[in-house]
Structure formats: structure tokens, C-alpha cells
Structure 1
């Protein structure tokens, strides 16, 4: 443990326990008596830590008498409280659950290694805490770490990318030169929002469909984030684009208990009907993903408008029933 970690741990141990004796600090920090004395002196004199020694009970405490500094004192550059450190450990678990964990986890590991010392706990106790947070991401599509790292680096450095991209719809691979604008994590999968220089427009690329990625020396074309949001986030689903219509759905009373707490789209409008059913209105462009989510609710939802969407959902239900002799 380096000196900065020791400083943080000394102050945290005293703050959390109300008072700590010299021998306990020695045991927790695993340093020599001379080193601990120097650390305490440095904290008091150079960092204004309000640490005082109470001879009566042989404890080091944080003073609140105003003569030795502020008891809410925090070390410069180290501003995490204990609940915030717990949140960081939970956040690390979330990152580990993402498909980019190999990349992000590797770069965050040095921070993670410091957290147990900052918390005044052992590495084993920190691991036990992390086991109590579980992130489940079903139907996750794998993204090769090397492409995620190349794309992420180009995004932050504002450089263009050469992509070999496989289009599932057309079942063909094409070469693209793009200017990355934003990374999007949606339903357990990563996407890249980028300006495509071939089509001269904003496009959204699924990173699991990238076959090759290479950073180019040219600077990326900058597109205002408000434009990116307007072009790509306006309607329902990951490939929604600008809205072309509005869907009206009616959910049963049973389904309404859950759907009323869900956000299908930021601009959705919900209304509870007199009989307890729920009406949802939301913008959409491409019906593919919206249809899939409607089908997920089976008989507990009915498409009221537009007629074209109702017809599409009805046909998909009949096609599904025909698989079972219905």
C-alpha cells in the first residue's frame, strides 16, 4: 500500500470507529512504528487533518472543537466517502457484466486494487461484497475486445475509423470510413453512432457485426450531439431514426402494473383508463423492434393505431400460432 492509500485509510479508520489506538493502526496498516508516526505527523501538519490524541483512553480521534481543523476534513484529491466506495465496487461489478469488461476492467483494475485499502477492509472482504451484486444480461451479443478498444480510442481521440462491417439484413460485408460520434449500450449490446463518409449521413453500427476496425490518421468529422440525438433517438428502438408515425397500444389491467413503470421511449404518453387498462402512445419509425416488444405481451396488449402496425402484429401472431397447429 502506498503512502496516499495509508493516509486515506488512517483517516477513514478513525472516522468510522470514532477512535483508534496506535497499536490497532499498526496492525491495520502493516507498517513500522516510525512510518506510522511520520504519517500521523504529516496528516496533521501538512494536510490539516484534525487528528488528536486522547491520552485518557489512548485513542486517536477527529476533533470537533474547531481548534484542530474541521472534523469533516477530506484529503486533497481523495474525495470518496465510504458509501461512495461501496457504490464504486458495485459499479465495477456492473462493468464486469458488460461485454466490454475485458477492456474496461483491465484499465480500472488499478483503481479497484486501491479500494479495499481506502475502505479499511481486506481484499477478501471487498471480494465478498462484490459477490453480493449480480448483473444478469440475457441475450448478450459478444463484441471482440480488440474492436471495442479500437472504436473507443478513436471516439475519444476524435479520429476516423475504417470498418469492415457485416450487414445482417443484406447478408454482405462492406468497407466503411466513419467518424465516430457516440457509443451506445442498448439491451446488452454495444452500438456505434457515426457519420458514414460513403453515404454522407449518420448511421448506427452494431459492434458485434464489426469484422475489422482500424484507426485512421484523419480527424473525425464533428456532428453536434443535438443533431445525433434528433436523427437517431427520435423514435422507438435502436434503429428508430426520425419518427414517421405514432403507435397507440392498450394494455390489460394485469400488464398495466408493470408497463406503467417502464419507459419504452422518452416521449411516450401514458394514460390509465377508467377500467384500469393502460393506454400508451409513442413515436416510431421502423416497426420491427416495436412489434417484437408488443408480441412479448401476447394477449395483454392490443394495437389500436395505426392500422398498418395492427395488421403486422396480427399476422405475426397468426404465423406463430400456425407453428403449433393453431
Structure 2
């Protein structure tokens, strides 16, 4: 049984699978449903109590999914009703189908080679399903915008081919800042669904891997790279570390779990009393302090100790301002 804390996408995915599963069986014991979805009975019960508050627009009583709470609480049996539309195949409206075709036609031109065949097959099936009703939809032609085609990629590829340095403007989310730096580009590598630039950074004085989608601007310079013979590192064999970042561990109570949805976390474990412990890679102690002040009192900094001392001092300073203003804290 899985004990890891759920994220919102986890719960949504399970809810979308749960309703057809229940409707196909008519009646399911709570423990059996929990075992099927590799979770515990308490989580399934929380899902069901959320489920009966959802349904078709405009959300009037007759529009909502019905869950037999008496059977759930008494016999621990699940019965749902008024949810047949979730068990039927989805029929796209013309507007929805058009949006999908536009997105897929854009993607097929800009996606990596290994993904283009899958996208093309999906696009063909959607266009076939549109049939005669989709004639206007099928005549759509989409010209990718510079943003969609990652305008910096041709600049980086040209600099790599010519052995030239590149000036990039880079956004660092963990600091919420952008910086301009000169780098010696070595190569581009795809890691999972992201494209990275492997380079020697003259600002940091070391090897760096820059996410291409965070490079806001790139200019190829006339100056040659310092080491023309340097080869690109293999970034595809696993995650790589960045010497500018520090691993921070936070313990989050339920009101603070939005952090997991909003920021990329590198580790996640269940903690005591329905909390979750998460690891984040951060590049600024000040950013961590600011985040903790926003989350207080629903988050605890577990590591590193030096950051905990800094946050304690900042919290005391903030409280002292209330005291100075005559406010009862």
C-alpha cells in the first residue's frame, strides 16, 4: 500500500478513474477500492466526500454526483449515482477539438523526433473523428510563434557549431531573479521532457546546466570559447547537481501543502500527524526565509541548521516590529 502523501494531480487522476470503476461494479467495499487504487480506506473516503460536491454545471443538487454516505459510514460500502456521464466516452465540442488540433499541429513541428510519430498519430485520429463536421477545423493552419519554437535554440546551436561564446539572460526561480552571464556552450541535451544547455559559465566559474525554457534571451558573440576541445557532459543518465544550490528540507502541515504543487521538489516523504517532508533545491537563503514567513505556522525547517537559525532571527525581528508598534502579538 502506498503511504506517500498525495498531490492534487494524484487525487484528480484517482477520482477520474474511481467513478468508472465504481459504476462498472455497482457496489464496492471501501477496503477493496482502497486496495485497487493502492491507497488506504481513509484516503478513498476523503475522495468520496469531495466527489459528492462535484458534478455538471451549474452545480445544482440534481447536477451533483451522489454518494450514499449512510452505506459508506455504516457498512463501509461505496455506492455512487448520477455520474453516468463520467463512464461515457468524451465527445469534444468543435471549440475543444479545434484547440486540440491547434496544439498538436504546433507540437508536431517543434517536438523532439522521438515524440513526433506519437503526436502525428494522435492528430490523425482526432482529425478523422472530426469528419465532415470538422471541415473548418481541418483547414486550420498554425504558424508556430517564436516562443513556441524556442527562439533561443537556433542561437545556441549556431554558437555550438561555430565554437563561439553566448551571452544569455537566465531566470532562476529559486531566487526569483534573472541574471546576464557569458557562457561557453558545449551541447544541448534532453532530460526527460526538458531541454538543457550544458556550458561553462564564466560568471559562476564552473560547469552549469541551464534549462532552455528559462533562458529569456541569447546572443551569439564573436569571441571563441576558452576550450574548443571540451566535450558536452552526458546529462541524460540521471539528475545532476548544481553547486549554486542547497538542499532544504521542510515539514509541511496540510495548509502548506500547496508548496508541492507550486515549486519543484526533489524528494517527498510522509511525516508525523498528516504532515509531509519535502526537499527543495534553493539558491538563496533569503528566499527560504521569505517562504517560511509566508507559510508560518504551518511549516517547519528541518535542514540545514544554519538556515533554521537565520529564519529564527528573521521571525524574531518581524515580531519585534509588532511590539514596537504597540500591537499585541
Q: Provide the TM-score with structure 1 as the length reference.
A: 0.41
Q: Normalising by structure 2, what TM-score? A: 0.40
Greater RCO, 1 or 2 (C-alpha within 8 Å, sep 6+): 2
